[in-house]
Amino acid sequence: MNSRFPRLPSRRLLACALASCLAVAAPAVMAQSTSATIRGQITVDAAPASDAQITATNTATGLSRKVQAVNGTYNVGGLPPGTYRIDAVAGGQTTTKTVTLAVGQTATLNLSAGGVAETGPVADATTVDTVTVTGVALAEVKTSEIATYVSGKQIDMLPQNSRNFLSFVDLAPGMEFQQGADGSTRIRSGAGTPNGINVYIDGVGQKDYVLRGGISGQDSTSGNPFPQSAIGEYKIITQNYKAEYDQLNSAAIVATTRSGTNNFEGSFFWDRTSKDWRTRTVFEERLDTKAETGAEQYGATFGGPILRDTAHFFLAYEAKEFDRARSLTLGEGYTIDRLPAALQEEAGTGLFIAPFKEDLYFAKIDWLLGEDHYFEFTTKYRDESELTNLGNGPNLPSYATNKLNEETRVDLRYQFTHGAWLNDAHITYEDASFNPSPLNNGVAYNLINFNGSDVNARLITRSGAGSDFQEKGQKGWGFQDDLTYTGLTGHTMKMGVKFKDVDVSAIERQPYNPQFTYDVNGSLVQPIHVRFGSALPGVGDGSAESSNKQYGIYFQDDWEVNDHLILNLGLRYDYEKSPSYTNFVTPADVVDALRASTAINAPNSGVNINDYISTGNNRDSFKDAWQPRVGFSYDLNADQRHVIYGGAGRAYDRNLFDWLQLEVTKATFPATNVYFRRGDGTCPLATEPCVDWNPAFFDPATLAALASPDGGGREVFLLDNDLKVPYSDQFSLGMRNTVGEWLTDATISYVEGHDGFAWLLGNRRDDGTFFAPGFQWGSPFNQGLDGFSNLILGTNGLKTRTSSLYLKAEKPYTAESGWGVTIAYTFLHAEEMRESPEVFALDYPTLNQYGWNDAEVPDHRLVATGLYDGPWGVTLSGKITLSSKIPRYFVNCFDIDRPNNCFIDQYKPDGDFGYKQVDLAAQKDFDTGSGFKMWVRGDILNVFDWANYDGYDDFPGNFGSPANPNFGEPNSQVAFPTRTFKLSLGFNF
C-alpha cells in the first residue's frame, strides 16, 4: 500500500555577454521587477535645484536611500514597496513628503523648496520640527505597461472563496481566474493558454518547466501556490511588459512579500465553510440530496525587528484542509446491488470521502548594512496530499490515486546602491515534485459489459490497484543580476543576465499495475484480458530526465525625452539547452519501420519522416528567441492627468518537458495487451490471439514474461527535429486620465500567438491518405507502423489571435476617504485553432485543417469591487462578476451527409450570461486598546444564488437517429459556489 491516507472502503556569444555583464555588475539585490522607483524634479524658487539631496526612508523598517539630484532631476530606485518619507534638502531648506509606493511602480513626485511648496510648507533644515508631513498614495500614469495593481487592503478585505491571492487577477481587464470541477485553479489572459503566464515573487519567476499551468505546482491541484498572508501586494501586467520579464508569452504577475518591521507584529486567522452553510445545487434539488462539502483554512504570521532599523524577520504559515464528497456512478446502467458480492461490500452506499490537505510555510530575513548594502533571504515550502480518482465515476475507493505535490524555493539577494548605480542579484534554488501514484498496489479488477469487439468500452466499475503513476519535477539553482544606471540625464538604463541549471524529470508508467478485465456476462473470477506495462531491459523504464541550462540577457532604456514623452526601448534574448531533446537517438527498430512504411512514405501522406528521425547530432536548441519590446507614453499637458500610451513587443515562452519527455518514456515503458481463452475454448476477440489462463498471471513477474522483449506493439512518439518555441506578438494603444480622485484607462490591443505545441497523428492508410475516400473524418487509428502501434508526431504551429478593448475606472481606497471602487470591463474577439489547452490534435492530418474557432473565453466580462469603512469599526466589501456565454466544442455527428463523416463544431448554451455572481463581506474589528485587535468576518458568496454551470451535455445525437433533447443542457454545477456563508475569526497584534 502506497499512501499518506488511511485505507478507504550560439552559446559562445551569449556566454561572453554573460561573463562581461557579471564582471561589470559584480556587486549584487532585490529584483527590480518588484522594487519601486520614485523620480521627479526638484526646484528652488521655480528653478532647477542643482545641489539638492533626496533621501527616501521606509517608515516601517528604517531602510534608507540617498541620491544627489542632477540638474534638478532625481531618481531613487530599488525601494521595496511601502510607505516612505521623502526628504529633499536644497538651498539650505528642507521639504518633506510621505508617500506610498506600490510593487514595481515608477512614480513621479515633483518637489519644490522655497516659497510655497507643492508638497506643503517649507522648513529650514535646522528646524525640521516645523516640517509638515502628509501621506500620499502616488498613481503611476506615465508608463506604457498595461498594468493593474492589487493592494494589500483589497487582498485582505474583498470577498473570496479560497485564500489564493491570485484569485484577484480578474480586477485587471482581460484576465480570468478559472476553477475546474476538480477544484484546480489556473489563470488565463485573453486567448493565451495558462502555460504562458509567469508569476514573479520578489522578482523571481515561479515558472513550471514540466507541467501545465504556468506556475510550479498548479497543474491540477486545489491548493494555493503561496501563503496569502505573506503577500504584501501585486500587479498584473497584461501587455507591454519590459525586457526584464522572461519565460512568458501571456500576462506577468509581479508580487512582493511582506517583511518584518521595527515593531513586533503577528496575526492568526481561521475560516470555515460547511455543507450546512450553503444552498443546494440545481441537481441536488432534483435528487433531494446534498453532498458533504466544506473547508477549513487557518494560519498565523509573526514578524519584527532583529536589530531596529537594520534587520527584521517575518514568518507565515497557512493550512487548508477539507473532505470532498464523491459518489459512485456505475456504467451501463448498473446499480450496486447487481455487482459481485465483494464489489458490493466495497461500494457500500456509493458515497465516499476524498480528503485534501495543504501546508504552506514562508520565512524571510532582511538586513541593511549602511545605506548601500541590503540583503534578503526567503524560503517557501509547500506540501500537499490529495485523494483523487474515486467516485464521480465508476471507480471504487481501492482504485483511488494518492496525489502528492511538494515544492521548496529559496532565494538569497544582495542589493548594492551607489550614487546613480543600482545592482540587484539573486541566487535561487528550487525543488518541485508532482507524484500521483496508486493508493494500493497489486492488480486491478475492471468489470465490463463485453460487446464482443472492444475490451476498453462499456465499463461498469473498477476496483483494486490503480493504473496512474507519475513522478515529475524540476530541481536546480539559478543566478540573475540586474544593473541600473540613472546618471545620464533623462535615461534609466537597465541591463541584466540570468542563468539557471535545472534538472527536469518525468517518470510516467501507464498502467503501473496490471489491469485485468472481467466480463459481467461470463466468469467473474477468470479475466478475459489484461493490460500491463513493463520496462524494456537495457533500454529504459518509463523515465526521462534532462539537465537543462537556461540563459537570458536583456537591455532596457526608459528615456524621458521631455516633460511630455517617455520612450521604453528594450531587447531581450533567451536560450535553453535541453539535452534530452538534442541528444535523443531514434531507436533503430523504429527507424527501420518508418523507412519501410509505404503508407507513410507515400507522396500524398504529407509526412517527411526525415523531419522526425533523430541521429543525436541533427537537432539544435532554438536560437531565434530575440524579443524587441518598445513602448511610449505621452503626457498631453505634462501634469500626469491625460496620458496617451502604447507599445509593441514579442515574448517567448518555452516547450513543457511533459510534452518532450513522451518521446523517451513511451518508448521505454510500453503497454502490452494479452487476451485469455474463455472456458468454452474461444478467444474473446476473433481478430486477436489469446493464451490459456493461469492464476500465476496474477503475479506481475510472471505476467511480464508475456511482454514483447523488444517493445513491439508500443506507440511511437517522435518530435520534430526543428522544434520551435511558442511566442506572442503584442500591440496596444491606450489613454489614461485622472479626473479628481478617479483614474480611468481605455486600451485597444491585438495579440497573435504562434508556434503552440501539438501532437499530430502520423498514421496513414495504405494509399497514404489520412481519411477514407470521400470522407473528412475518421482518423486512421491502429494503422500505424508495422510491428508497433500508433505513430504520434510532435511539432509547433498552433496559433491564436485576440482583439481586445479594455476599460478600467478606479477610485483608489484611502484611509482618509474610507472607500474605494474598481471597475474593469473587457471585450474580446478571440480565435484559436485547437481547443485550449489540449495538445493532442489527432483528428486531422495537419494543424491548418483545424481552421479558426472561437476561443473558449467570454466576449464580454465585467468585474467591479467596492470597499467601505462603515460605522462601528465594520468594513464592508463586495464584488460582482458578469460574463457572457463562452463557446463550447463538440463533435458533430448529427448534421452530416453520411455516417462517420463528423466534424468539430461549436455552440453557445442558451441564456443571457455565462457567469454571474455577487459576493459580499463584512468584517468587524474589536480594538482592546492594548495593541491587540480581534476581528470577526462573514462572507456571503453568490448572494443571489445564481446558477453557474461548469458542464453541459455536448452530444447532439448521431446521424440517422433522433436529436438528443438534452443537447446543450447543463449537467454539472460543481466548480462554482451556490449561495455560501463563510465565517472567519482572527486577531492581530
Reported as a single tens digit per residue, the pLDDT across 241-286 is 999 999 999 999 999 999 999 999 999 999 999 989 999 989 888 8
- Tell whether 175 and 222 lie within a shared domain: yes
Q: Is 871 within a domain? A: no
Q: Name the one residue in this structure whose C-alpha cell is 478559472.
A: 178
Confidence bin at 35 (pLDDT 50/70/90)? confident
- Tell whether 56 and 111 lie within a shared domain: yes
Q: What is the DSSP letter of 169?
A: G
β-sheet bridge partners, residue 543: 507
Q: Which three cell numbers stand for residue 476?
A: 536546480
Q: Is 198 within a domain? A: yes
Mean pLDDT of the chain, nearest integer: 89
CB-neighbour burial class of residue 546 (10 A; exposed 0-12, middle 13-18, buried 19+): buried
CA angle 272, 276, 280 (to 5 degrees): 115
pLDDT higher than 50, residue 420: yes
pLDDT higher than 70, residue 2: no
Q: Is 78 within a domain? A: yes
Beta carbons within 8 Å of 259's beta carbon, 6+ residues apart: 60, 61, 80, 232, 303, 312, 314, 364, 366
- Tell whether 53 and 132 lie within a shared domain: yes
- Tell whether 129 and 109 lie within a shared domain: yes
What is each CA distance from 608 to 151, 584, 602, 758, 771, in whole angstroms? 54, 18, 10, 17, 18
Domain limit, last residue, from 110, 137, 164: 137
Beta carbons within 8 Å of 610's beta carbon, 6+ residues apart: none
| Across 841-866, average pLDDT | 96
| Across 41-56, average pLDDT | 82
Q: How many other β-carbons are positioned within 10 Å of the β-carbon of residue 311?
A: 16
Q: Is residue 568 a contact partner of residue 630, using CB atoms and an 8 Å limit? A: yes
State which amino acid sits at residue 309: D
Give the CATH number of the domain where residue 96 resides: 2.60.40.1120
Q: Is 52 within a domain? A: yes
Q: Is 574 within a domain? A: no
Q: Is 958 within a domain? A: no
Confidence bin at 134 (pLDDT 50/70/90)? very low
Query: Which is higher by pLDDT, 32 or 614?
Result: 614
pLDDT-wise least confident of 575-589, 608-622, 674-688: 674-688
Could you write out the DSSP letters of every residue in 644-713? EEEEEEEEE----HHHHTHHHHHHHS-EEEEEE--TTS--S-TTS-EE---GGGGSHHHHHTTS-TT-TT
- Is the CA virtual torsion 607, 612, 618, 620 positive or negative? positive
Q: Name the one residue in this structure whose C-alpha cell is 464528497.
A: 325
Reported as a single tens digit per residue, the pLDDT across 76-107 is 888 888 889 988 888 778 888 888 888 888 88
pLDDT of residue 559: 95
Chain-centre distance for alpha carbon 310: 36
Confidence bin at 350 (pLDDT 50/70/90)? confident
Q: Which three cell numbers stand for residue 248?
A: 512568458
pLDDT higher than 80, residue 643: yes
Cα gap 34→257, rounded to integer Å: 10
Reported as a single tens digit per residue, the pLDDT across 738-782 is 999 999 999 999 999 999 999 999 999 999 999 999 999 999 988
Domain limit, last residue, from 86, 107, 137: 137
pLDDT higher than 70, residue 203: yes
- Tell whether 130 and 225 lie within a shared domain: no
Could you write out the DSSP letters of every residue in 501-535? EEEEEEEE-SSSS-EEEEETTS-SSS-SEEEEE--
Give the CATH number of the domain where residue 248 resides: 2.170.130.10
pLDDT of residue 497: 97
**pTM exceeding the 0.75 threshold for the entire prediction:** yes
Reported as a single tens digit per residue, the pLDDT across 797-852 is 999 999 999 999 999 999 889 999 999 999 999 999 999 888 999 999 999 999 99
- Tell whether 50 and 108 lie within a shared domain: yes
Cα gap 459→449, rounded to integer Å: 7
Q: How many other β-carbons are positioned within 10 Å of the β-carbon of residue 617?
A: 9
Q: Which three cell numbers stand for residue 741?
A: 480622485
- Tell whether 110 and 157 lie within a shared domain: no
Q: Is residue 845 a contact partner of residue 761, using CB atoms and an 8 Å limit? A: yes
Domain limit, last residue, from 257, 278, 305: 257
| Across 339-364, average pLDDT | 93
pLDDT higher than 90, residue 440: yes
Cα gap 498→572, rounded to integer Å: 11
Structurally, how many domains does the chain consist of? 2
Question: For residue 71, what are the domain limits?
Answer: 31-137
Indicate the helix (H) or strand (E) that contains 795: strand 791-811
- Tell whether 161 and 249 lie within a shared domain: yes
